[in-house]
Structure 1
Amino acid sequence: MNPAEKSRLNYVQMERFKGFEQARADLGDFTVIVGTNAAGKSNLRDALRFLHGLSRGYTLLETIGEKWIEGGVLQWKGLRGGIKEVVFSGANTFALEAGFRIDDATKKRAATYRIEVRVEDSGRVFVDREKLVVDGRGEFIFDSHPDSNPPSQPTDPHHFSVRLKKTPRAGFVGKTLSLLSDRPALTQLAESNQEVPRDVRTFCREVVDALASMRFLDLSPDQMRFPSVKGQKILGDRGENLSSVLELICQEESSKSALIKWIRELTPLDVVDFEFPSDQTGKILVQLKEANGRLTSAYSASDGTLRFLAMVGAFLGAEPARFYFFEELETGLHPTRLHLLLQLIERQSRSGLSQVVATTHSPQLLAFLEKQTLNATLVAYRAENTSDQRLIRLVDLPDAHEVLETQNISRLHAAGWLEDAVSFAITATDCDK
């Protein structure tokens, strides 16, 4: 089975998280998020990064803050604003819920993972509530506060209890386990020994694996211009190892041909090959070779060319992630070439190889989206006169279907129609309350 087909993130719901009092992002194979500055696009990214951080085995404090390792190396950057800004104004807890489609033998099942975290003024951060539910597999896989037979919570502040799913051996009530409260139960159960039933460990590992296979690429042309060690097959989040990743791609003729085809369409360069000369330390740097023999190295290639090469490298590389998040997808690319990048992403996501979420400020980009992607596009906005950030599907805006059938979305976005439609949506929502 293709790794990307094993699991898929269907939605993430945020409650009292950063600027979101309550919001839900339904995610398609390729989801584009539009909205003005400070509307919540980056806060959604932080919510996804928090879930990803949990999968890496970090404590809650490290996931929100920073994780340093021996030698003073920063391994994990944490969330913007740290623990002081992770909760919505006036709150002391936040909750995140993620819905998945996971693999269970020969079936696909819906799974829901939810964690509620308490942040104290003292700086202590711990799990308040947590559960994992898989459709067709009982009431829950584990739950700290189930409706029936809830476990007694310890008075010790460093631990909390969860009840595991019922098993034939356990009878009517599943086993209760005491776990560390500064880490999610999800990873503790996934890493557990035989004390935990195998199917509980299996489902926890499925969700952990899905969260672990997330990449948040914030590509830097300066990083991509550095020579890289031969054989490195993982592209860094800033674009590190670009040359070695591309060299590995070029070892397979079909992948190399696809790479050349994409770069020829993107740029005026008449690229026919890639070369990877090494320096005296053995590190390599990619060179684009044109039909006339001219060589353009990563040192002098344009920022847009390098960003595009990095995205192609991420998708065509040896170990593509199941989930990618890109901020400001259009950065460094000429507007007339945006459709090429979108074709690549839509082809990759439609095939089930990788799920993609991307933010954009570009009206032109919206005009190039396929209808399926446009239907999954989200609008981030802030409710008037409040700090509450919200999300709504583009097609759920008032009269969206009728307007989109007759108007160019690029011109509508540039003219401010999205903001006007959001204002109508806010009014309608307030009237319904």
Structure 2
Amino acid sequence: MITELRLENWKSFGEATLYIDPLSILIGTNASGKSNVLDALQFLQNIASGMNAKNSLETIRGGLEWATRRPNRSFRLDVVILESNIRYDYCVQYSVDDLLLRNVFPVKIREDELDDATQKICKNLRGIFVLEPNPSEITGYSLLSDKLNNDASNIAGVLAALPIERQKEIEDTLTQYASRLPERDIHRVYAEKVGKLGKDAMLYCDEKWGESGEVFTVDARAMSDGTLRFLAILTALLTLPEGSLLAIDEVDNGFHPSRAHLLLEALQTIGKQRNIDVLVATHNPALLDALGTEFVPFVTVAHRDSITGESKLTLLEDIEQLPKLLAQGTVGKLSTQGLIEKSLNMKPLNQTVKAELYVH
């Protein structure tokens, strides 16, 4: 599993480190750098899957032109992977001028171990899945598929293509959580093949209204954006390969604040059951309050340096004034009032520079 991501001159970042746990929360104001972290993960997934670096950068927000923090012309991304209690350090360096991607092992690896290490690193990087649900794309018919799209447009096709028993198991779990989402009774969430050839599928929901308990069937076109986003997140958790890293930007977009605890429960429970690490970016105070103080060690704050403007990442528990801040209210309240970012800009944080030997 990926346990650390280090960014150097990547987009708005100078130097920063993100620590990844089974459930990691990335918070921060608009334009603080949260989405840039997810872009870095997507870039690593792309190149591990065989896409060349230039094309990969062109598919990410800002394209090649904004891949580095100016005036720099190159960036570096390091990852730390822990598998079977063995640590693997790996990084990529890219120069915009010569369009050259270099692969580096910061820790010397014996030649006879190189192939095995490379395979394990690539497997973990390919296991990154950045989910950006697009409700307007989910509402249509989708082709049967064995892999979820990043915009979740093919939820129906993924569910309908599953073996019958696995499909029912997943649909039961979707129903279990979705039935607690709206102010009415969702009786069943499911997908069915449609058309003469049965190569397409549609997502459906059976709802109960009124005292009669009559069931009404609606398809994805009649579902709310919040419901579709929730089903997209659940489907990703339930269908991604075990050992994956699921990253979601603005995870609670479209959710009512009273349902924040339900989303958090799903992320924790299903993620743990299926050994999927989850990284979510948010600035929703309701979700932050639902976390509780026990989650403080797993919250990272993205913020901009008030002098240089570069993005930084700071563990919430490393903020010197955190006890005083928490005495003023919950994490959600502190975030809403901007007190966390204000405390970070009051004085520079002490930073430890690690010297490492890099073998090229």
- Confirm or deny that 1:52 pairs with 2:26: no
Q: Does 1:343 align with 2:265?
A: yes
**1:300–1:249 distance in 2 versus 1, CA, 3 Å:** farther
**Equivalent residue, structure 2, for 1:151:** none
* Structure 2 equivalent of residue 17 of structure 1: 10
Contact 1:9–1:100 at 8 Å: present in 2 too?
A: yes
- Distance (whole Å) between structure 2 residues aligned to residue 241 and residue 320 of structure 1: 20
Partner of 1:316: 238
Q: Decide whether aligned partners of structure 1 residues 365 and 203 sit closer, same or farther in structure 2, where only a CA change above 3 A counts.
A: same
Q: Report if the CA contact (8 A) 1:215-1:237 is conserved.
A: yes
- Aligned residue in 1 for 2:184: 269
Q: Distance in 1 between matches of 2:150 and 2:326?
A: 35
SS at match of 2:275: coil
SS at match of 1:25: strand
Aligned to 1:126: 100
- Asked if 2 retains the 8 angstrom alpha-carbon contact of 1:111 and 1:132, the reply is no
Q: Which runs of 5+ in 1 are unaligned?
A: 1-7, 66-76, 134-139, 142-164, 167-196
Larger radius of gyration: 1
Distance (whole Å) between structure 1 residues aligned to residue 274 and residue 318 of structure 2: 26
Q: How does 1:316-335 map to 2 (within 5 A)?
A: 316-317=238-239, 319=241, 322-335=244-257
The question of whether the paired residues in 2 share the 8 Å contact of 1:249 and 1:313 is answered with no
Number of aligned residues: 342
Q: Single out whichever of 210-219 and 37-46 deviates more from structure 2.
A: 37-46
Structure 2 distance, partners of 1:274, 1:330, is 20
Identity of matched residues, %? 23
Aligned mates of 1:352, 1:280 — CA distance in 2: 35
Q: Which residue in 1 is equivalent to 2:211?
A: none
Q: Which structure carries more relative contact order (alpha carbon 8 Å, separation 6+)?
A: 2
Alignment partner, residue 288 of structure 2: 366
Match 1:81 to one of 31, 55, 62: 62
Answering whether residue 194 of structure 2 is matched by residue 278 of structure 1, we say yes
Match of 1:202 among 111, 116, 120: 116
Instruction: Say whether 1:404 aligns with 2:326.
Output: yes
Measure, in 2, the Cα distance between the counterparts of 1:240 and 1:272.
23
Q: Which of residues 85, 91, 94 is equivalent to 2:72? A: 91
RMSD of Structure 2 on Structure 1 (CA): 2.3
Match of 1:423 among 341, 345, 360: 345
Query: Equivalent residues in 2 for 1:17-416 (5 A)?
Result: 17-65=10-58, 77=59, 79-103=60-84, 108-120=85-97, 124-127=98-101, 130-131=104-105, 133=107, 140-141=108-109, 165-166=110-111, 197=112, 199-230=113-144, 232-247=145-160, 248=162, 251-252=165-166, 253-274=168-189, 276=192, 278-280=194-196, 282=198, 283-291=200-208, 292-317=214-239, 319=241, 322-351=244-273, 353-401=275-323, 403-404=325-326, 407-416=329-338
What secondary structure is seen at the aligned counterpart in 2 of 1:387? coil
| C-alpha separation in 2, matches of 1:415 and 1:428 | 21
**Structure 1 position 413, deviation (Å):** 1.5
Distance 2:74 2:281 in 1: 27
The separation in 1 between residues aligned to 2:105 and 2:280, in whole angstroms, is 29
Structure 2, unmatched stretches of 5+, are 209-213, 352-360
CA shift for structure 1 position 277: 5.9
CA distance in 2 between counterparts of 1:373 and 1:281 reads 49
SS of match in other structure, 1:17:
coil
Asked if 1 retains the 8 angstrom alpha-carbon contact of 2:135 and 2:153, the reply is no
Q: Would you say the 8 A contact 2:325–2:339 is kept in 1?
A: no
Amino acid in the other structure paired with 2:72: A
Contact 1:117 / 1:129 at 8 angstroms: preserved in 2? no
**Partner amino acid for 1:215?**
F
Helix, strand or coil at the partner of 2:9: strand
Paired with 2:254 and 2:163, the residues of 1 have a C-alpha distance of 23
Letter of the aligned partner of 2:207 in structure 1?
E
Tell me the secondary structure at the aligned position of residue 330 of structure 1.
Answer: coil
**One-letter code of the match for 1:85?**
W
Which whole-Å deviations, capped at 9, do the CAs of 1:72-92 have from their partners, x for residues lacking one? xxxxx2x22222222222222
TM-score by length of 1: 0.73
Q: CA deviation at 1:227?
A: 1.1
Q: Which amino acid aligns with 1:399?
A: Q
Q: What is the CA deviation profile of residues 236-282 of structure 1, one whole-angstrom value per residue up to 9, with x for unaligned ones?
A: 11112211333438744443332211111011232223452623563
State the alpha-carbon separation in 2 of the partners of residues 242 and 372 from structure 1. 33
- In the alignment, which residue of structure 1 is the partner of 2:354? none
CA–CA separation in structure 2 for the residues paired with 1:317 and 1:16: 34
**C-alpha contact (below 8 Å) 1:15/1:21 kept by paired residues:** yes
Letter in structure 1 aligned against 2:29? T
